[in-house]
Amino acid sequence: MPSILEQNITIPGASPLFPDAHCIASGEVCQLTLGEGGMRDSPAALPEQVVNDVLTEINAATSTSALIFSDAFNLTTTYFLIAGIAGVNPHVTTTGSVNFARYAVQLDLQMEFDSRQIPSNDTSGYFPQNANFPDETNAIDYPGSIYGTEVFELNDNLKKRFVYIAGLQTLNDSAHAQAYRETYGYAPANQPPAVIECDSGTSNVYWSGSTLGDAFSAYTTLLTNGSGLYCASQQEDNAILEALLRADMMGSIDFSRIALMRTASDFDRAPPTEDEVFHLLYAAQAGFGISIDNIFIAGSAIVQDVLMYWEGTYLDGLRPGNYIGDAFDSLDYFIAPDIG
């Protein structure tokens, strides 16, 4: 890292537990924990930038808004690396892995029946808001009502650069994590940590199991027109992105300068040898420690890349090659054709 986070800047309205942004002396690199989080020593972020490791959407949105309205920072050219841990789909990635998302999907912003009362032609109890109920084949209809926070799309060119930088690093692992992965008996669950491109799902409820996992995977595919791949379950991303999107609409930040990185602390469903209750409450998956280590390893490399190539690459921004924003096109974003 270029320096230690020696400067503490209090953000009025930030979480009472984490009221300060921690910055290097120059103020170019800062870190903020948005709510009740697992660590204070996250990797520093990008120039005048924030790394987030938090719990619950309410804390996340409120603290992000407090940052935006603070007069302590000029965020107009800031790069935001949203970083934290997540439970992951063992059919897509494995514990310790570093996962970069193009999409964040609000998994639980749906209609829900209690599992003891779900209709016979549904498999999970979830179906999209104001949609026709899934038929006997469990086909999912698109939501009839959209609030605007259901799905966000981020700058894929920025994501791919960060994937490349993170992929050059040696990720941490442990013998205990390796042993638990072996209980799955299939790849990539039983493989070493890697850097993966896959998408993030937000839910206030801490859920577990293949029934919900498969339903939320299908919902991610639905809301991204078939281009999204659910892999990481967390509790904050859509809330953070909604606050940042509104900040872009006010001219305070640039939504194309946001990247979303989640490291895998645990699996979102049990291996064949365990039941779901034991898996969620008692299983010693041993992924938490290495996931924290790998946030720092990957995040530090990204910070250094931004600082090193600020003038030639990052100052003017990496132009997205894809749509960015929410389902309402609130940023009025379009992709201009290349003119050769």
In angstroms, the CA 178 to CA 197 distance is 21
Largest CA distance in the chain: 61
Tokens of 302: 């990204």
Residue 289 included in any domain: yes
pTM: 0.91
Residue 47 resides in a domain: yes
Q: Which two tokens stand for residue 231?
A: 């892999």
Q: What's the confidence (pLDDT) of residue 83?
A: 95
Would strands 151-153 and 126-127 be described as parallel, antiparallel, or unpaired? Answer: unpaired
CB atoms within 10 A of CB 138: 14
* CATH number for the domain that contains residue 276: 3.40.50
Distance CA 90, CA 95 (A): 8
Q: What is the DSSP letter of 141?
A: P
| pLDDT at residue 3, as a whole number | 59
pLDDT tens sequence for the chain (340 residues): 445 889 999 999 998 889 999 999 989 999 999 864 333 333 333 333 333 334 478 889 999 999 999 999 999 999 999 999 999 999 999 999 999 999 999 999 998 989 889 887 788 888 888 887 665 455 667 888 899 999 999 999 999 999 999 999 999 999 999 999 999 999 999 999 999 999 999 999 999 999 999 999 999 999 999 999 999 999 999 999 999 999 999 999 999 999 999 999 999 999 999 999 999 999 999 999 999 999 999 999 999 999 999 999 999 999 999 999 999 999 998 765 554 4
Please give the C-alpha separations between residue 183 and each of 126, 275, 279, in angstroms, as whole numbers.
29, 13, 12
Q: Is 334 contained in some domain?
A: no
**Which two three-digit tokens encode residue 98?**
């570093």
Structure confidence at residue 138 (pLDDT): 56
Distances (CA, A) of 133 to 57, 130, 203: 28, 9, 22
Q: What angle do CA 221, 226, 227 make, to 5 degrees?
A: 100
Nearest to 320, CA basis, from 205, 201, 156, 184: 156
Does the bond joining 90 to the residue before it have cis omega, within 30 degrees of 0?
Answer: no
- 229 within some domain: yes
Q: What is the count of structural domains for the chain?
A: 1
In a domain, 128, yes or no: no
Tokens of 305: 């890349």
Q: Give the pLDDT of residue 141.
A: 76
Give me the domain span that covers residue 240: 7-109+147-314
CB 129 within 8 A of CB 115: no
- The predicted pLDDT at position 335 comes to 63
Q: Is residue 276 part of a domain?
A: yes
Whether residue 103 is contained in a domain is answered as: yes
Q: Is residue 54 part of a domain?
A: yes
